[in-house]
Structure 1
Amino acid sequence: MLRPSPLLPDSLRRPLVGAFFALVAVLGILLHRDYGLSWDEQLDRLNGIISVKYVALRLAPELARRQENFAAIPDMRQNEDVDHGVIFQMPLVVLEKLVGADDPREVYFLRHLVTFFTVAAGIYAFYRLARRRFRSWLLGLLGAGLLLLSPRLFAEAFYNYKDLVFLAFFTGAIYSLTRLLRRPSWRWALTHALLSGAALDVRTMGVLLVGFTVFFAGLELLYRPAIRKPLLLALALYLPVTAAVVVAGWPYLWENPLGHFLAAFQSFSRYRSDMLVQYWGQQISVRHLPWHYAPVWLLITTPVAYTLLFLVGLGTLGYTLVQQPGRWLRTRTGRQDLLFAVWFFAPLTAIILLHSVVYDGWRHLYFIYPAFVLLALRGVAAGVAWQARPGSKRWLGAALLLAVAGDLLHSGYRIARDHPYQNVYFSFLPGPVAERLFERDYWGLSGRQGLEWILAHDSSAHVTVGTDARSALVLHNNHLLLPPAERRRLVLTSAAQARYFLTTYRWHPGSYPASYGPEVYSIRVGGVKILSVFRRP
């Protein structure tokens, strides 16, 4: 096993780790009000509200019917998003009521803060996972830093209720799996079941956790006969409790658990809309994306040094496998490394082979990114080991460590410079190239700043704003984050009737003709134009 030399005394572990996660919490508190309202947030919230109504009608029907706006809330059978789990959304709806958040502006700021703290908990689980694998709290902390300082994920940690929350739950479940396999007990079986069920309720891809658990428990049973009985008992507890958590946290499943779950799972590969995405300079249907769509997006949006370290880590893993094919799986670290490799490659391979529908970059695969970072940490460990040796490997190790330090600093700089649009980060593509070839602000976050600029520069009592018909949700969502007085001044209308035309270029990547009027405002991030405001003739 690659193990770096201790660079800092263990006495500094608690204060440094505590300071790191305290800083993460402070960042969340300071920054959560800066982001716009993303494309899916209103629909996700409505999904939670519908499910809360469904539960309330079964637990306290008379009390439920007396609630304000009860009749306006659709029933479960009218919900088009029933195939999205609500184990995260329902508690958020209840929390809104408990804290008295009535205005949409405060509601969504609260949701952004809770989402970020949930992702931060996932980063902490990753720290514990990496620390145990490498037996180094410093490497664990570095891994947590690599996760935090990944620009796109940093931004989406505030508003991506599905993919980043799924990443957090999935990472926590992998950590609990490693603890369960190491020392089987009913406590870790229950913990792992709760986290697996929660992950499954956020995204049905969480079913991979059940497969991982059974497969890697089988390896432990093969190589560690002494723990067979407690591990089999733990599995006997894990499987039914996981199923119970999935059903309990997803009211849509209550009436027909297996049938509704299978329908939701199948919908992952049969997207309801024939939506177009911008990929390599062309508008392509999500139903006909090439196999390399997700890998290319991963490459162009991940810091270059992270990718280099990942390749080094993967190379050292392959070298170990070739050198010790018989002994590798007999070691605990060997089986853990196999788990991390499967965590990364299995979902990516499945997406490619099954032609599953993905869009908006590789966000549906964000949950494999912690495994990517774990393999990158193996590259860091190799660099530390090489740096301690004489000869050419020493210089190679030093170069690797300098690369990771430099890219960490650069990623932190880009996060600060591009705030709050880190979601448009491209690692090595020049701005004009990225703008022409790939999608930009597909979340529509920049719409908020565009509306704020229009209202700040037009003192009319009523200001009319329009956009492309397919992008109307960008304006509707982001106007909810305006202060109430400014919200009342804004009139959202068609592009033909509007005084101002706002675009985020999602389905119109090209330039607009002069008939739209002069461009009076724009936002560029890293050379990529993500928003324009035109004053209509």
Structure 2
Amino acid sequence: MAKKNRKPSPSPTNFKTYKINYKGQLTVVYPMLSGSDLGQFKKDWQAFKKAWPTTPELLLFNSLGDEAAASEWAKWAEEEGGDVRYLADKVAPSAIFAQAVKLAEGEDLLFADGSQGIALSNLLDWMDNREEALAANTIYLGSRKHAGAKKLEAKDGLLLSQLHNSYIQFWTPLYLQDSQAPFYFMSKALGQQLAQLTVSGQQTDLLLMAQLEGISIQEMPIRWRHAEQRDTGIGRIAQKAFAGLLARPKNKVKYFFLNPWTEASKALAKEPTIYRFLYAVSALLILFIMAGLSFQYGITGDEVLQKTYGDNVLAYFESDGKDRACMNQSNLHYYGGLFDYLAAWCNKHLGWFDTYDTRHLLNALFGFLAILFTARLGKVLSGRWSMALLTLVLLALSPRFFGHSMNNPKDIPFAMGYMMGIYYMIILTKQLPRPSSRAILMSALGLGITFSMRSGGILLIPYLGLFMGSRVVLCPQLRPALTQFKIGQLFRYAAILLSVSGLGYWMGTWYWPYAQEDIMNHPLESLSEMTNFSTGIRMLWGGKHLWSDQLPWYYIPTWLGISSPIVVLLGLPLVPFLFLKNAFRKKRAYYFNLVLFTGVFPVAYAVYKESSLYDGMRHFLFIYPILVLAAAYGWFNLIRMIKPAVVRYVAISGVVGLLALPTAWMFRSHPYQYVYFNEFFGGLEEAYGYYETDYWMTCMRNLSDWLIENEPKIKAGEEVIVATNCAKPVAHYFSDYPNVKVRYVRYHERVKTGYDYLLSYSRFVSHGFLQSETWPPAEVVHLEEVDGVPLGAVSKAPNGNKKGELAQKAFKEKRYAEGIALLEEVLVADPKNESAMLVLSQYYPQVGKMEEMKNVLTRMRNLANDYVNGLGMAGVYYLNAQQPDSARYYFERATTLNYKYSFGYFHLANLALKEEKDVNKALSIWVDFDQYGGQPAQGYQIAVQVAQQAKNRPYELYFRAKALATAGKHVDAYQLLGQAIAVDPNFEPALKAKKMYDDNSRRARDEEEMARKKGAK
């Protein structure tokens, strides 16, 4: 039982003596709110006034709804007189700040609200024994979460306030442990500046604008007690939160577009405020330009497949997993489906635009966000909007990144998630030991987006561990957690890392069907598959056609060097120079180094692992923003180092001039910005025939549109046959014209297909044919060009005939002479038609025309001495001419140019056996034949005989298994593989082939089991 007649505990101000060094005039601003206790405030005011070294002014603002209570306050103020001023007119709480700043006579302001249980004496504690005055450019904010804060009673009253504070932390960049305690001190001059800059006098909006404007906010400890009043109810807090949410956009608009022109903002800023305005205007312009231009870009090479995957992922989720088509689409189930799902959902449920236009619009938005996060990271690293502006412009005016942003559905969303994750992880690291809920949740979201595009996005987890761990080790304020083994602090750090990692990992599986079905094992399986991924694509590199697993270690560095704007390349060497000159502040250099590591490490790791790469810098687009950021940082700091204004302006003009080069090129190359090569390299003209240009066939959109507009038969409904080496995108472009028949044809086999028009692009065309202008083929009626370099062509059938197709029919019916005569007519009409030459070289022996075969092969080699199929046929000619050495020369040259040319290995193996009588060499070549395709399939029968002669039982059984597999007899093939392994348990070819069978069987069983479970549900 509680004791009666218990005397209240005396206030600390009743007995404590303060030593305060203050000679100015203070104005205390006190709003009379519901819950304000006049009796308690009288005691508080008297004690404070007695201890304060000068006479303070008190402004009482009437925000009471109770007239009787207001009357009591007015009466007391009148009795006090002097420096107590009662403002009778009712004032909304949000308007108090502006009026107080205007009416106050003191040079410093203390805003307090006793209804929240925070006594004025807290200011006495802050000033007690303080030698220096409180800084005039700082807001001192009372914090109930400060380590030195003290609660004067056991009752807890912070839960709702903490929830509100977490809400503020999430929806705004305001990072304070307690933004809700209404007790803060600032100079009147600072208050006047803030009053001009904010749209609302709400405390949160004031603090947010102060933080945006670079005003220091220092949280201070307070003594406080819980007070029942109107602001702690959940309804009132929700009302304040909603009002604050509405005020945030207004504050942002004011901060970026209006404040830069005010004297108050100019006085507070560390740099000209015009940079902030230009940053915001530039960002909006880039957003609208990218969104608007996205409708003009073509379908990319992988996009039809990705679109289908998105449709299947959507069907999977909308059928509760019963529709399992997304699990059986090549290896795409190993990729997260976020972007493709989002695009499919928009197309199905909104359907505002063409299917691919919708995808490209979303792609452009992801690209813009990647640019924006990179620019904001520049601001975080430098503290300057000029750095953010420079980063924004450098990345937006990087032609390849801009071009990919329009229609690259894999690499751009991945890059956006990567930059978002790094941006928020750097903020989280800077906020240790208590990062905001916003930093934690947005770091997890960045991780989730990255992981949901590729399993390699999990790399952000060790990055965060590196960021946090290095900060704890290097920061003197955080290091004691390690050196003194403070278990609570270490546990907090571990909890933060695990929270971001776990939440981000989970988010990454939301739109990933394969991961949904086994959230732990399937993503790890995907990561293993992606790590060992070795897609074989043959491409132009330095004038040679190389396979993606043949490329040198410097492939990515070279591509970055030849396809990045000069202004970026020149900015990068400035970074080590400026470090040597100590131009970077130590603390900023630390965070910059962390970010730089995230750009350098993936490239170094890929070089170390000898990863299979292709399509230029596409797979490393995600690190390109980091390189741009580094270049911008180099230019930014160099310009800041330059003291003479004239020299500084010359340097700025130089950067602008360098930026003008890619900008002009982007305008004249639209919509093919992604084929950019810089001026150091010599531009696109120098690259043509030596490096890939429009490898993603985006020119097909404009080629198709041109043909629709310029061939009257199409709109008239007459049949038009269009052949192309890019069938699926072209079929989509002609989908509104069913009279247009689209036929797929390999470019070098085009003579076999009859057509009215051929739409072709240059990928996979031999270097020699590009240099000899064999491509584009004859009777070109339209070219898509950039800088005079053809990217794609519309060609009419020579003389409008379809003799090549008729020749193929004749050959099938063994009317060889008739077919040859037709192809010879094709060559008369089109003397550089290498497709006709190759087919003629294959059929001349059928009629004994060996000299003609030799001549046509010579003509073809004169056009391109690197055309592998032509070299292979030359080998065949010399075999027939009984010249094995010459035959061997051409087959070896062909397999050197294309080490996967199994037709060459077929003949070289036979030559080794028959001419050289070397069984072991022949067996070795048959191994290569098998490894690189195994065509023609009859080669396996000969390989079996060679293995028998070499007395190599494992290979004999293996080759028999492969022969059966090519005939579709997989059960028998599997049994023979088992026998080969029984003979030699370490026999790698059989183990690998058997594993492929086992994996396929396991996947089939897993699919059946999953389908059964889904059906049962």
Tell me the TM-score range normalised by the shorter chain: 0.7 to 0.9
Contact 2:451–2:458 under 8 Å retained in 1: yes
Give the residue type in structure 2 aligned to 1:459.
P
Distance 1:308 1:256, change over 3 A: same
1:347 aligns with 2:598: no
After superposition, the Cα gap between the structure-2 partners of 1:478 and 1:20, relative to the gap in structure 1 and judged at 3 Å, is farther
Contact 1:282 1:437 in 2 (8 A): yes
Partners of 1:516 and 1:536 within 8 A in 2 = no
The one-letter code matched in structure 1 to 2:306 is: D
* 2:758 corresponds to 1:501: yes
Aligned residues: 500
The answer to whether the Cα contact below 8 Å between 1:153 and 1:423 also exists between their aligned partners in 2 is yes
Residues 1:479 and 1:388: Cα distance change in structure 2 (over 3 Å): farther
- Whichever residue aligns with residue 23 of structure 1, its letter is L
Shift of residue 335, structure 1, vs aligned partner:
2.0
Q: Which amino acid counterpart does residue 666 of structure 2 have in structure 1?
A: I
Structure 2 counterparts to residues 258-273 of structure 1, below 5 A: 258-271=520-533, 273=535
Q: Does the 8 Å CA contact 1:51/1:86 hold for their aligned counterparts?
A: yes
Q: CA deviation at 1:19?
A: 1.6
Instruction: For residue 198 of structure 1, report the CA deviation from its aligned partner.
Output: 1.2
**Partner in structure 1 of residue 85 of structure 2:** none
Aligned to 2:392: 144
Which range moves more in the overlay, 170-179 or 263-272?
263-272
Matched letter for residue 120 of structure 1: F
Task: Tell me how far apart the structure 2 counterparts of residues 313 and 374 of structure 1 sit (CA, whole Å).
Answer: 11
Query: Residue 543 of structure 2 contacts residue 690 of structure 2 at CA under 8 Å; is this kept in 1?
Result: yes
* SS of residue matched to 1:256: coil
Which residue of the partner structure matches residue 282 of structure 2? 20
Cα offset, 1:317, TM superposition? 3.0
CA deviation vs aligned residue, 1:363-382 (integer Å, no higher than 9, x gap) = 11111112111211222123
Match of 2:672 among 402, 421, 438: 421
SS at match of 2:452: helix
Give the CA deviation at 1:175.
Answer: 0.7
- In 1, are the aligned partners of 2:291 and 2:364 still within 8 Å (CA)? no
Match of 1:380 among 631, 635, 644: 635
Please say which of residues 343-352 and 78-87 is displaced more in the overlay: 78-87
13 and 529 in structure 1: CA distance in 2 versus 1, 3 angstrom threshold: same
* AA of the residue aligned to 1:107: T
Q: Which of 278-287 and 426-435 deviates more? A: 426-435
Question: In the alignment, which residue of structure 2 is the partner of 1:3?
Answer: none
* CA distance in 2: counterparts of 1:476 and 1:415, whole angstroms: 28
Listed as ranges, the matches of 1:111-260 within 5 Å are 111-183=359-431, 184-224=435-475, 226=477, 229=489, 230-260=492-522
CA contact (8 A) 1:50 1:79 kept: no
- 1:66 aligned residue: none
Find the residue that maps to 1:157 and give its secondary structure. Answer: helix
CA contact (8 A) 1:125 1:171 kept: yes
CA distance in 1, matches of 2:786, 2:503: 46
Name the SS of the counterpart of 2:697 in structure 1.
coil
SS at match of 1:524: strand
**Aligned partner letter, 1:196:** L
Please report how far the alpha carbon of residue 125 of structure 1 lies from its aligned counterpart in structure 2 after TM superposition: 1.6
Give distance in 2, aligned partners of 1:488 and 1:131.
56
- Work out the CA distance in 2 between the residues paired with 1:412 and 1:514: 30
**Pairwise CA distance, 1:187:** 3.2
Q: Tell me, in whole angstroms, the C-alpha distance in 2 between the residues paired with 1:513 and 1:536.
A: 15
Q: Deviations over 1:100-157 (max 9, x none)?
A: 35xxx71111111111112212222222211121111011011101110001111111
Aligned pairs (5 A) from 1:46-61: 46-58=308-320
Query: Which residue among 62, 77, 80 is the counterpart of 2:331?
Result: 80
Q: 2:343 aligns with which of 74, 85, 92?
A: 92
The alpha carbon displacement at 1:385 in A equals 2.6
Structure 1 segments unaligned to the other structure (5+ residues): 1-5, 62-69
Q: Determine which of 670, 689, 692 is the counterpart of 1:436.
A: 689
Letter of the aligned partner of 2:415 in structure 1? Answer: L
Quickly say closer, same or farther: Cα 1:411–1:144, change in 2 above 3 A.
same
Give the aligned partner of residue 532 of structure 1: 793
Structure 1 residues 107 and 319, CA gap change in structure 2 (3 angstroms): same
Using the alignment, how far apart are the partners of 1:238 and 1:115 within structure 2?
A: 26
Pair 1:526–1:231, CA change in 2 (3 A)? farther
**RMSD of aligned C-alpha atoms?**
2.6
Whole-angstrom distance in 1 between the partners of 2:497 and 2:781 = 62
Label 1:441 to 1:215 Cα distance change in 2 as closer, same or farther (>3 A): same
Deviation string 1:322-365 (CA, Å, 9 cap, x unpaired) is x99xxx8xx43132121122112101101111011111001111
Which AA in structure 1 matches 2:755?
A
**Secondary structure, aligned partner of 2:553:** coil
Tell whether the 8 Å contact from 1:520 to 1:535 is kept in structure 2 after alignment.
yes
Cα distance between partner residues in 2 of 1:427 and 1:514: 24
| Stretches of structure 2 lacking an aligned partner (at least 5 in a row) | 1-268, 482-488, 799-1017
Contact 2:387 2:633 in 1 (8 A): no
Aligned pairs for 1:318-337 (under 5 A) are: 320=582, 331-337=586-592
Match of 2:782 in 1: 521
Q: TM-score, normalised by structure 2?
A: 0.47
Give secondary structure in 1 for the equivalent of 2:552: coil
Out of 711, 719, 740, the residue aligned to residue 462 of structure 1 is 719
Q: Does the Cα contact within 8 Å between 1:194 and 1:242 map onto a contact in 2? A: yes
Match of 1:30 in 2: 292
Aligned to 2:272: 9
Which amino acid is 1:466 matched to? A
The residue aligned with 2:306 is 44
In structure 2, give the amino acid aligned to 1:353.
Answer: Y
Return closer, same or farther for 1:332/1:481 CA change in 2, 3 Å cut-off. Answer: farther
2:736 equivalent to 1:475 = no
Using the alignment, how far apart are the partners of 2:775 and 2:320 within structure 1?
A: 58
Give the structure, 1 or 2, with the largest relative contact order (CA under 8 Å, sep 6 or more).
1
Q: Is the 8 A contact 1:516 1:535 kept in 2?
A: no
**1:287 Cα deviation after fit:** 1.1
Q: Aligned equivalents of 1:504 and 1:123: distance in 2?
A: 30
Structure 1 Cα separation of the partners of residues 720 and 533 of structure 2: 37
360-369 vs 219-228, which moves further: 219-228
Partners of 2:430 and 2:776 lie apart in 1 by 67
Q: How far off its partner does 1:185 sit?
A: 3.1
Structure 2 CA distance for partners of 1:126 and 1:273, relative to 1, 3 Å: closer
* Structure 2 counterpart of 1:65: none
Q: Deviations over 1:507-531 (max 9, x none)?
A: 0042465995322222221232211
- Alpha-carbon distance change, 31 to 481 in structure 1, aligned in 2, over 3 angstroms: farther
Supply the distance in 1 between the matched residues of 2:329 and 2:624 (Cα, whole angstroms): 35
Q: CA deviation at 1:453?
A: 2.0
Deviation at 1:292, TM superposition (A): 0.9
Give the counterpart letter for 2:316 in structure 1. Answer: Y
Structure 1, residues 482-534: CA drift from partner, whole Å, max 9, x if none? 5x544643533543211222221100042465995322222221232211222
- C-alpha distance 382-493 of structure 1, shift in aligned 2 (>3 A): closer
Q: Say if 1:200 and 1:246, in contact at 8 Å, map to a contact too.
A: yes
Distance 1:407 1:385 in 2: 18
Structure 1 equivalent of residue 618 of structure 2: 363
Report if aligned partners of 1:519, 1:535 keep a CA contact under 8 Å in 2.
Answer: yes
**2:643 is aligned with what amino acid?**
A
In 1: Cα distance, 2:326 partner to 2:382 partner:
50
User: Is contact 2:373-2:423 (8 Å) kept?
Assistant: yes
> What is residue 242 of structure 2 aligned with on the other side?
none
Report the AA paired with residue 570 of structure 2.
L
When residues 13 and 306 of structure 1 are mapped into structure 2, their CA distance, relative to the original with a 3 A threshold, is closer
Q: TM-score, normalised by structure 1?
A: 0.86
Provide the residue aligned with 2:578 in structure 1: 316
Q: Deviations over 1:460-488 (max 9, x none)?
A: 21221213xxx3xx232144245x54464
Question: 3-state SS of the aligned residue for 1:531?
Answer: strand
| TM superposition outliers: structure 1 runs of 4+ over 4 Å | 225-228, 397-400, 512-516
Q: Secondary structure at the match of 1:158?
A: helix
